[in-house]
A and B are shown apart, each in its own frame.
Chain A
Amino acid sequence: MTTMLAPLDSGAAPFVVELEHFSGPLDLLLTLIREEQVEIADIPIARICEQFLLRIDTLGLGEAAEYLEMAAGLLRIKVQMLLPRRGDDEEWDDPRAELVRRLLEYQQMREVVDILQHRGEDRRDRFARGYLPLPPVAPLAPLALSLPELLAAVDRVLRISREPLMHDVISRALDVDSAIDTILSVLAHRGHAWWRDVVADDAAPWQILSALLALLELARRSELRLVQQRPFANVEILRDAASEAA
């Protein structure tokens, strides 16, 4: 690898090219092949490989892994070419074949690049009416409506909606204590009563709730027992045997 440090041409100024000069290792390789004026299919690997390593060094491309990988590949091919072949009758695969295939493919693509470049330049020299984003969705046209039509519509809506139901919400405290008194006084006379006996038919919701809470409270205090035979059946109120004994 020391040979690659030798100057390209001792008389000429140092050869300096920016990294951007080549778009990749294949590009560099193709350039070398053109400079050497040899057929792609007939690459003199030894010479091209040397040139490639030399360029990598001069261009400071050592940082670019792809270039090093290509250099390694070239060296491998060079080694393979040096290995003695067995008998001539045996099929021999040219170790350069894969590289040649890639180079030809790459060269073909470069040709397309030339076409695109030419066409792109051509188009760049003409302005369109500004690059507009995709046409926006046109906003809806303003509603075309006359005043009588609007009033008729309002009238229809008002007809449909009936007199609104209004509620006055009055907070009313429950009176559990007096409900307890009522229940106890009922039970004082009879040992057994029904839900209907402690809540009047026309009782207001607050009275019903008070009675319910009173019953539950008395049952908790074991002053009575509540029995319901089945769901939604009349609730039977029994004076508790324990409290009776006391």
Chain B
Amino acid sequence: MTPLAKLLEAALFASGRPLPASELAALDPTASADELAGALDEMRDRYDIEGHGIELVELGGGWQILTRPEYTETIERAQLATRPARLSAAALETLAIIAYRQPIGRAEIEEIRGVAVGGMLRTLLERGLIDVLGRAEGLGRPLLYGTTPVFLEQFALRHLGELPRADELAVALRAQPRAL
């Protein structure tokens, strides 16, 4: 591997979180963006072609070294690492609404879901998937929520733009009921 690829590999190994391109670039100020991309490609190809137990994945706004899925069961059974608990359908619904409508207040979420979401918000906050972005101007200045980088990472998204746009979804909001 080239010295740059080795440097990036060491940095990605040392960091537990995805490293964005800006942080990787800071490791070697002399390297151009093309050289960085080339080094990342080289590293990924090396893992894939030589058949490593780990792979280089782009997600959460950066790059991260992850284990390959085929070893997950065995690793978890040996209690070396634990998969994060699955989110309930209700929590996922709440998260999806926040991802699309952020910054969004609690009342708005409840209007879409048709149920109270106070407990859901607490769970999502505790797991670091959402955060308070600020307060709305309106009555009572309600808290506004938005998604965090942890959300992108745990759902293997490079950025929010990777979610389909609202008008790309099969059912568009514009659809009108047909008159009888």
Contact (Cβ within 8 A) B90 A24: yes
Chain A residues whose C-beta falls within 8 Å of the C-beta of B27 in the assembled complex: none
Chain B residues whose C-beta falls within 8 Å of the C-beta of A230 in the assembled complex: none
B100, B170, B172, B175 pick with most chain A CB within 10 angstroms: B175
Given known A20-B88, A23-B89, A120-B155, contact A128–B171 (CB-CB < 8 A): no
Residue interface mask B84-125, A partner, CB < 8 A = 1: 101111101101110110000000000011111000000000
Contact (Cβ within 8 A) B72 A112: no
Contact (Cβ within 8 A) A127 B173: no
Q: In the complex, what residue of chain B is closest to A109 when comparing beta carbons?
A: B96
Min Cβ gap B159→A in Å is 13
Contact (Cβ within 8 A) B96 A24: no
Given known A120-B87, A123-B155, contact A66–B171 (CB-CB < 8 A): no
Contact (Cβ within 8 A) B65 A66: no
The verdict on B169 contacting chain A, using a C-beta distance below 8 Å, is yes
Count chain A residues whose beta carbon lies closer than 8 angstroms to a beta carbon of B: 46
Contact (Cβ within 8 A) B169 A108: yes
Contact (Cβ within 8 A) A119 B155: yes
The verdict on B177 contacting chain A, using a C-beta distance below 8 Å, is yes
The verdict on A76 contacting chain B, using a C-beta distance below 8 Å, is no
Contact (Cβ within 8 A) A130 B16: yes
Chain A residues whose C-beta falls within 8 Å of the C-beta of B114 in the assembled complex: 24-26, 66, 70, 102, 106
The verdict on B81 contacting chain A, using a C-beta distance below 8 Å, is yes
The verdict on A100 contacting chain B, using a C-beta distance below 8 Å, is yes
Count chain B residues whose beta carbon lies closer than 8 angstroms to a beta carbon of A: 54
Residue interface mask A97-127, B partner, CB < 8 A = 1: 1001110111111111101110110111111
Contact (Cβ within 8 A) A119 B157: yes
The verdict on A227 contacting chain B, using a C-beta distance below 8 Å, is no
A23, A128, A132 pick with most chain B CB within 10 angstroms: A128
Q: How far is the CA of A110 from the CA of B99 in the complex (A)?
A: 13
Chain A residues whose C-beta falls within 8 Å of the C-beta of B75 in the assembled complex: 127
Contact (Cβ within 8 A) B16 A131: yes
Min Cβ gap A124→B in Å is 5
Q: How far is the CA of A104 from the CA of B112 in the complex (A)?
A: 10
Min Cβ gap B148→A in Å is 12
Contact (Cβ within 8 A) B176 A108: no
Q: How far is the CA of A105 from the CA of B174 in the complex (A)?
A: 9
Q: In the complex, what residue of chain A is closest to B70 when comparing beta carbons?
A: A125
Q: How far is the CA of A135 from the CA of B87 in the complex (A)?
A: 26
Contact (Cβ within 8 A) B175 A104: yes
Contact (Cβ within 8 A) A127 B67: yes
Chain A residues whose C-beta falls within 8 Å of the C-beta of B13 in the assembled complex: 129
B15, B86, B96, B153 pick with most chain A CB within 10 angstroms: B96
Given known A94-B177, A109-B97, A124-B83, contact A26–B164 (CB-CB < 8 A): no
Min Cβ gap B85→A in Å is 9
Q: In the complex, what residue of chain A is closest to B59 when comparing beta carbons?
A: A123
Chain A residues whose C-beta falls within 8 Å of the C-beta of B93 in the assembled complex: 23-24, 109-110, 113
Chain B residues whose C-beta falls within 8 Å of the C-beta of A129 in the assembled complex: 13, 15-16, 65
Partner of A126, one of B15, B67, B87, B96: B67
Chain B residues whose C-beta falls within 8 Å of the C-beta of A41 in the assembled complex: 175-178
Contact (Cβ within 8 A) A66 B115: yes
Given contacts A42-B178, A104-B172, A113-B96, 5 further A-B contacts (CB under 8 A): A24-B115, A41-B176, A112-B100, A112-B164, A129-B13
- Would you mind naming 10 contact pairs between A and B with Cβ atoms under 8 Å apart? A23-B89, A104-B172, A112-B96, A113-B89, A115-B163, A120-B87, A125-B69, A125-B72, A127-B72, A129-B65
Q: What are the 4 closest A-B residue pairs judged by CB atoms, nearest first?
A: A132-B16, A125-B69, A126-B66, A41-B177
